[in-house]
Structure 1
Amino acid sequence: MSTVAGSPLPYWRLSGFYFAYFALLGGVAPFLSLYFESLGFSPARIGELVAIPMLMRCIAPNLWGWLGDATGQRLLIVRVGALLTALCFAGIFWRQDYWWLAAIMALHSFFWHAVLPQFEAITLAHLGSQSARYSQLRLWGSVGFILTVVLLGLLLQRAGMAVYPMAMFGIMLLIAVCSSLVPQPPRQPASAAVAGDGFLRRLRQPGVPAFFVAVALMQLSHGPYYTFLSIHLEALGYGRGLIGLLWALGVLAEIVLFMFMHRLLAWISLRQLLVVSFALAALRWLLLGTLAEEMLVLLFAQLLHAATFGAFHVASIHLVQQRFGERYQGQGQALYATLAGIGGALGALCSGYAWAGMGPTLTFAAAALAAFVGMLLLLLRLHDQSSKGAG
């Protein structure tokens, strides 16, 4: 087992948390709206209920990030946040009227979105100088996501949507258990406060504001993909079983990339990795909008998920670590989560309006334009702080 600063790296405990956390996301993304539909809600009400957690993602991470940096108690925040996520969600077993469910969505997601940015900082603290191995831990989140999509789909097909809340509650309890097994990271030497230094000063470093704008643009560009890909492919004549496999292919490509990312980071800079991921995102959306009826093109476009999510996310996590340091790591990761949430919410909203008015081709073209603008921002404004991403 590898060691960090003389302490063994708790690989499986860290990986187990990522597995459980993204298993929950694998239950939410494909099935939450179906559950609300089974309760008889209209499409408008379903959209509102699904949007509430996105709104919380724009609010919660910064509050918890500030608290984590101010107190240093990031692991306690993760454990309490995971437990309160489950406890708040448990209210769904009592009532299922609209306003009660809206409150449940707001409360449980407020604590759920507190968890991941703080855990990212904990993971990087455990890794220390081995931060390039982050992707080897994070890949288990993708494994959890894809297993949940497959197994929960089979369960709901056999038992019906009535079992959905219990399945989600069980995964939330698993997250809480996994968080309790993670040890405190090695204590870093306390860095002396530097006059004039602070979170806002770090945020104003050259290229950092452009990076965060690019983060929002990348997530905005994913709006048509996450919201309408299945509908788009079904309209082109693909069966639902094949569509599910195509979704899974994208996540599998992401997992493979995570397995080799530590080697990639040894010879390519974070800026280069980000620029390439944005360029491939623009290409991917153009292909999906114009040539998705060609199976080989569609397979290639799904394999590009390794770049548009996997490479982008890993490079972003490392860049935030690099630019904000240990002292402001929690707030930096929280801001990254917040900008991603804002971009994702705007992407879903804008693609909904564009899809009906402009159609799939122009909607995906607009998404490609958003990714291209993000690439230009990074090319013009972001500069490498060190020669390699693994530094």
Structure 2
Amino acid sequence: MARLPYWRLSGFYLFYFALLGATAPFLGLYFEHLGFSPARIGELVAIPMLMRCIAPNLWGWLGDVTGQRLRIVRLGALCTLLSFGLILVDKSYAWLALVMALHAFFWHAVLPQFEVITLAHLHGQAARYSQIRLWGSIGFILAVVGLGLAFERLGLDVYPAVVLLIMAGIVTSSLWVPNAEPVQQAEAAGQGGFLRQLWRPGVLAFYLCVGLMQLSHGPYYTFLSIHLEALGYTRTTIGLLWALGVVAEILLFLVMVRLLERYSLRQVLAASFLLAALRWLLLGNLADHLLVLVIAQVMHAATFGSFHAAAIHFVQRSFGHRQQGQGQALYATLAGVGGALGALYSGYAWNSLGPAWTFTIASLAALAAAVIIAARMRDQPT
């Protein structure tokens, strides 16, 4: 790793996922603070996820055609900052919906292209991706813990300013990253075009399961903080609980290389889905017990950590060098479709069915993904 720009790549991930740490636990709380109902909150949270159906594929195609991935990352980061700044103008539902859609269109241009750049810097050592990506988890932890304390003392009115500050950090860190393009590999060159590679055994099943996994996360990302606050937990405690999940994720990333050496991608993904199914049942039914809640948050190591690392590895192995951007973009798109559907259904179900049944539906989605991946994906050496 002597020539790997480790800290430059890691710094970008730190700021990028600090933004996720500012939105995943607190965006729903902020919209509730503004007086919106659960249904409207679900719709507003779903809009950025719906943009993942459009933006990653457009930007991914552009990155593959032009090869200007780093310019796309930098432009996307800057436009994300400028468009989210419009939130300072008005707080009506229609205006916030516009802000959510506009900033997400550019935000979702960034990560898929940056993943390709990172993997290109790794020169085929994709299993070491986790050692860089763990700094994104550290950024998430710093955000959820720091902002939990800040919002406890200052209230949620400062939320937009804090998010804009983190976005400025993403822009700055993107200017520090050197460019790299994936090299053509012999085994990928004969695989044909993007659609032909997509139809290879297990690839479509994998993408379907990506959508189901993100659908199952709908209640978690949209309503967990609201759910815990209703159960009597403070915002500081909520931030610490979110951070605990990401600490577990970091520890998983540290051993992910060895896990991928010992187990197939199919086994890692199936285990991630099964643990997700159990986790949602615990959060929906037993979150009032702190010990159970702690155990459920530790399971984030599987429901995000091992799943995401294995998924990125699978996409990198499944597509040729000229389809890497489109492969990563399709991953982001299916995640966006699933996440949007999850946010929408949880928004409509939260009051009518209650938290327990809302999380039970999420559990069934994750269980379905486990069955599909076990039945349709072939074991591959990693």
* Paired position in structure 2 for 1:339: 334
From 330, 355, 359, the counterpart of 1:360: 355
Shift of 1:351: 2.4
Aligned position for 2:10: 15
RMSD: 2.5
- Structure 1 position 276, deviation (Å): 0.9
Query: With structure 2 as the length reference, what TM-score do the two structures score?
Result: 0.91
Q: Does 1:246 align with 2:238?
A: no
User: TM-score with structure 1 length normalisation?
Assistant: 0.89
Aligned equivalent of 1:75, options 70, 78, 83 = 70
Q: 1:170 to 1:59 in 2, by over 3 A?
A: same
The worse-fitting range, judged by mean Cα deviation, of 107-116 and 52-61 is: 52-61
The secondary structure found in structure 2 opposite 1:181 is coil
* Counterpart for residue 174 of structure 2: 179
- Residues 1:350 and 2:350 are matched in the alignment: no
Moved more, 58-67 or 194-203: 194-203
Matching residue's letter, 1:60: A
- Once the 2 structures are TM-superposed, how far is the Cα of residue 357 of structure 1 from its aligned partner? 3.6
Of the candidates 62, 65, 68, which is equivalent to residue 57 of structure 2? 62
Equivalent residue of 1:143, what SS?
helix
Partner of 1:128: 123
Q: Confirm or deny: 8 A CA contact 2:147 2:239 kept in the other structure.
A: no
- Which is higher, the Rg of structure 1 or of structure 2? 1
User: Which residue of 84, 87, 108 maps to 2:103?
Assistant: 108
| Offset, 1:93 | 3.5
Q: Structure 1: how far apart are the matches of 2:157 and 2:234?
A: 25
Structure 1 residue 26 displacement after superposition: 1.3
Separation in structure 2 between the aligned mates of residue 36 and residue 353 of structure 1, nearest angstrom: 15
Count of residue pairs brought into register by the alignment: 382
Q: Go from structure 1 to structure 2 and tell me whether the alpha carbon gap of 1:189 and 1:370 turns closer, same or farther (over 3 Å shift).
A: closer
Q: Which one is further off, 163-172 or 119-128?
A: 163-172
Quick one: which of 138, 144, 148 aligns to 2:143?
Answer: 148
User: CA separation of 1:151/1:245 partners in 2, compared to 1, >3 Å: closer, same or farther?
Assistant: closer
The answer to whether the 8 Å contact 2:206/2:377 transfers is yes
- Do the aligned partners of residues 263 and 367 (structure 1) sit closer, same or farther apart at CA in structure 2, a change above 3 Å counting? same
Residue 202 of structure 1 deviates from its aligned partner by: 0.9
Q: Does 1:168 align with 2:163?
A: yes
> What is the one-letter code of the residue matched to 1:23?
A
Aligned position for 1:265 = 260
Structure 1 range deviating more: 162-171 or 45-54: 45-54
| Gap regions ≥5 residues in structure 2 | none
CA distance in 2, matches of 1:363, 1:92: 30
* Counterparts in 2 of 1:100 and 1:356: CA distance versus 1, 3 Å: closer
CA distance in 1: counterparts of 2:88 and 2:259, whole angstroms: 46
Question: Sequence identity, in percent?
Answer: 67
Q: CA deviation at 1:155?
A: 3.0
After superposition, where does 1:36-51 map in structure 2 within 5 Å?
A: 36-39=31-34, 45-51=40-46
Shift of 1:97: 4.3
- Letter of the aligned partner of 2:245 in structure 1? G
Please say if residues 148 and 235 of structure 2, whose CA atoms lie closer than 8 Å, have aligned partners that are also in contact: no
Measured in 2, the distance between the counterparts of 1:138 and 1:326 equals 21
> What is the match of residue 23 of structure 2?
28
- Note the C-alpha offset of 1:44: 5.1
Question: Quick check: 15-24 or 43-52, which moved more?
Answer: 43-52
Instruction: Output one character per residue of 1:324-363: Cα deviation in whole Å (capped at 9) or x when no partner.
Output: 1321010111111111111111112222333334333333
- 1:89-122 superposed Cα distances (whole Å, 9 cap, x missing partner): 2333344444443332222210011000110111
